[in-house]
Amino acid sequence: MDGRSTPLIVAHRGGMGEACESTRESFASAAARGATGVELDVRKSADGVLVVHHDPTLDRTAGVALSIASATWEQLATIRLPCGTHEASLARLEEVLAVTEGLACSIDIKDDDGPSGDLEARVIATLTDAGALERCVVASFHRGVLERVRSRWPGVRTTAAPSEVAAWIAGSRQRRPPWRVLSVPRSYRGVPLLTERRVRDAHALGCEVWVWTINDVAEATFLDSLGVDAIITDVPGLLSRALGRSSRQARH
């Protein structure tokens, strides 16, 4: 043992390999299953409610041909999600923040509202009201979303956009990158993205390295040896047991 603390174990969509994905119950039970962080996706309903759901529609999760953006929260709240022997309901962002207090949180803004930035503003306001800004990082595949967050709320941590990740991997190094978290898949088109040197370089700039979505124990153990800060996984219970970790051992 080298005495180095182990990475955060982040429950992807609440740990969808062990619980019903993106539901209040999956996030509420994440810590008990060994997670020290959660990852979630946010979309806006027709009436402006922040709904935690990965897909733009409910076809896959509920068997209902309805999009989040076209429905009001009153409509969405009636939808039941099959979860094995029982059913669950959709959750609002503020509900998930309330049941994950104390856990790190990655919030993926799925849509780009354009220059108005209404969705980002609602997310930041909700995080502020919940006292969750310090424990959360804002993620998005839309660079415009991230740039607006950085411009309007410079104290909020964001992930690198895909184009920023590509520049980093290609060797571009900024003395003060606008992102604070390098959140990347383990590999892209079969090419590994993370090396010990890349992790070290990110840390030298005061940035964290998060990797997704890792469900294999051997791979998680290897990434731990590289010094990554967080492992996003569908099976937080499995990885937390395998890495022999507890909340008190986490880096954060």
Place domain 8-41+95-249 in its CATH homologous superfamily: Phosphatidylinositol (PI) phosphodiesterase (3.20.20.190)
Q: What are the domain boundaries of the chain?
A: 8-41+95-249
Band of pLDDT at residue 227, cut at 50, 70 and 90: very high
How remote is the C-alpha of 108 from its chain's centroid? 6
E-assigned strand segments in 114-251: 136-139, 181-185, 187-188, 191-192, 208-212, 230-233
| Separation CA 48–CA 59 (nearest Å) | 21
Q: Which of 51, 57, 59 is nearest to 91 (CA)?
A: 51
Q: Per-residue pLDDT tens for 116-173?
A: 899 999 999 999 999 999 999 999 999 999 999 999 999 999 999 999 999 988 887 7
Phi, psi angle pair for 243, to nearest 5°: -85, 0
Longest Cα pair distance anywhere in the chain, in angstroms?
53
**Per-residue tokens: 32:** 């008990």
Whether the full predicted model's pTM is greater than 0.85, yes or no, is yes
Q: Is 107 within 8 Å of 136 (Cβ atoms)? A: yes
